[in-house]
Amino acid sequence: MFRCTLAFCLSILLGMMTPGLGSAQPLVHLKLRPERLTYAREVEQEATQKHDSLGLAEAWYLYGKTYVFAGDYLTAQVYFLKALHVQEPRGASFELSRLYVRLSETENRLGRFGQALAYAKQALQVAKDCRSDKALLRANGNLALLCEEKWANQLGSDTAKFRQVLTYHRLAESYCYKLNDTLGIAEANMNIGVLYTKVADQQAINNLKEALRLFALKRKEGIRVYAMSKLAAAYVRFGKLELAHQTLQEAEQFYSRWHLNEYHIRLDLERNFVTYYTATGQWQLAFDRLKRQHQLEQSQILADRDGAISRLNIEYDTQKKESLLTTQKRELALRMANLKEQQLLILAIAGLLLLTIGLLVNYFRLNQTLARTSRQNVELVKEQNHRVKNNLQVVSSLLSLQASRLTDEVAKQAVEESQLRVQSMAILHRRLYDGDQLAQVDVDEFIRELVSGVLLSFGYLTVPVQYALDPILLSADKATPLGLIINELVTNACKYAFPDNDEPQLWIECRQHGRTIMLTVADNGPGMDHDVPVLQTDNMLVAKTRTFGLTLIEAQAMQLNGRAQFGSGKDMGGRGTVFTLDFTI
């Protein structure tokens, strides 16, 4: 009881030293490794001279790794995303799978587990597609660590999840043996040892010792220190405190001797020193180590966040300029083609005066030119649509990064909701121009994908949704406001109807009667306050309190020339909120 109380006090005192709340502590910034930066620059310069896009992608990947080791995950993610823009269009490869693994690791360190898991699954799929054992090794190992973290956060109560994590680790280990990869075998042993430590299985010590032996054999100093830190943690777990202290001291000595400068290794050492000193009741030493851990964590959160955003903005502006330049070049080529057509037409008219055969020959040539121009126009439209889709994705990524940096919850919520609106427009654009019906969207598929995206963003993917959707095709000017309205309504349901609701439900109905479209969206939440709009008059929603979401719904309803109305769920005993909208197409 005494130890727990002192540990709690350490945490409270350390929290009081957070910048902005008390006396500020100097942040610990890990320097970038100069040899890593030099190598990345050499690769970049060589690729630039040779106009080698794959070489540039490799250089950006190396830059990203360098920033990861320094603990600057945001800047690392910028370089990984730049490399992804080059690798992804080229299809499945070991390099693409490796890049997805890095993106997954970085997203997880930034606290975005959902996006990390999505990247991890993409890495595994690409590895299977390219049939690379090295890629499968990396992808399975990364999935194992992600699932292990999720299982550990659930206090390790799910034995089925534990077996799943162990299976991923064993699968990665089998690929290491298949490839005769000593370092991979060592890393697999280390990961399995950490897993066994969490379930208090003393087999952990054997696995960690084997990993340490192999790392020493291959002279891999950095990860060797990391393995020593994990072995010390296992010793503490099993009450072998003297061995734990000896191992931690050796690890710290090696870290200094080899001039290591890797953020996650330094942070892990500090955490395990805190654990050891707490277990042995050395509270002052534990407090000192806890302060150093806190400084490292704060430096990772605050390091260069403004610079990362600036680099993203610059990259986005550059992409827009490149897109504009490409479009201008294509327009110039199209004008030249039109000019050539006019010249051919004049020649054809002159040939008509001379000879009928000459007319037929020139007419044939003219048709060939028109067909070529038509193909150019089709390619131009495809290129423009591709650019629009990429730009929407970049805007969504920018909003996601911005939201992760905001500390004001209101501002963060506003940015996240704006991201959902951009995503709804991106879904609509893809449905409009990637489907079989040009410039028309299938309402059934569009609504289902849109709703699933919003529910996934809020973590309510398992909420049952009852759909009643007629087969309807809508043009872009009708589908855009309809999608924004549904996005706002489902967002509101996730924010106000589903929390504290044991059995949340959602109903969406879209029917067509002649030229009239009827939309109904309902939930089984607590219902709307009386100060919230409940009816409509002359296409204007009446409300005492006007929020941005309501204003947006009202504006989109007016754009559709429709009638909108809010009400209570009569079929649910008066509970819940029901929104209805009807408009003419």
What pLDDT, in 10s, does the model give residues 265-314? 888 889 999 999 999 999 999 899 898 888 877 765 555 454 444 455 54
Average confidence score pLDDT of the chain: 80
pLDDT for position 396: 67
Structural domain of 160: 28-296
Q: Which of 296, 313, 330 is the last residue of a domain?
A: 296
Q: Single out the residue in 240, 270, 296 at which a domain terminates.
A: 296
pLDDT of residue 295: 83
Residue 258 contacts residue 224 (beta carbons within 8 Å): no
The confidence score (pLDDT) of residue 307 equals 46
CA–centroid distance for 155 within its chain: 26
Query: Quick one: pLDDT at residue 513?
Result: 93
- Decide if 390 is inside a domain: no
Instruction: Please tell me what DSSP assigns to residue 240.
Output: -
In-domain check, residue 51: yes
Residue 16: inside a domain: no
Q: Is 215 inside any structural domain?
A: yes
Distance between CA atoms of residues 171 and 503, nearest Å: 38
- Which one of 296, 326, 341 terminates a domain? 296
Q: What is the pLDDT of residue 147?
A: 78
Q: Which two tokens stand for residue 432?
A: 């409009």
Q: Determine the pLDDT at residue 258.
A: 86
Rounded Cα–Cα distance for residues 315 and 578 (Å):
43
Going from the C-alpha of 369 to that of each of 327, 365, 366, 383, 504, the distances in angstroms are 21, 6, 5, 21, 61
Beta bridge partners of 517: 512, 583
Strand partners, 582: 518, 563
Quote the CA–CA distance of 218 and 213 in Å, as a whole number: 9
CATH code where residue 190 lies = 1.25.40.10
Structure tokens at 118: 């999505």
Block means of pLDDT (10 residues each) for the chain, length 585 residues?
A: 43 42 42 81 90 91 86 87 92 92 89 88 91 86 79 66 81 84 88 87 91 89 89 92 92 87 84 92 91 78 49 53 64 81 86 82 81 72 64 70 71 68 69 64 90 89 92 89 92 89 92 94 80 46 62 90 83 73 93
Nearest by Cα to 581 from 513, 485, 506: 485
Residue 126 lies in a domain: yes
Examine residue 366 and state whether it is found in any structural domain, yes or no.
no
> According to the model, what pLDDT value does residue 3 have?
43
Q: Which residue has the tokens 């905001």?
A: 406
Cβ atoms of residues 108 and 100 within 8 Å: no
Q: Please name which of 510, 498, 424 lies closest in space to residue 461, comparing C-alpha atoms.
A: 498
3-state secondary structure of 287: helix
Domain count, the chain: 2
- Sheet with 577-584, edge to edge strand ranges: 465-469, 506-513, 516-523, 577-584, 563-568
Q: For residue 336, what pLDDT is reported?
A: 83
Q: Within a domain: residue 410?
A: no
CA distances from 77 to 73, 239, 405 (A): 6, 40, 14
**CA distance readout (Å), 70 to 73, 81, 148, 184:** 8, 18, 24, 23
Q: Which amino acid is at 161?
A: K
pLDDT at 299: 67
On whether residue 386 sits in a domain, the answer given is no
- Encode pLDDT of 246-268 as tens digits: 999 998 998 888 888 777 788 88
The CATH number of the domain holding residue 577 is 3.30.565.10
β-strand 536-537 against 473-475: which pairing, if any?
unpaired
pTM: 0.41
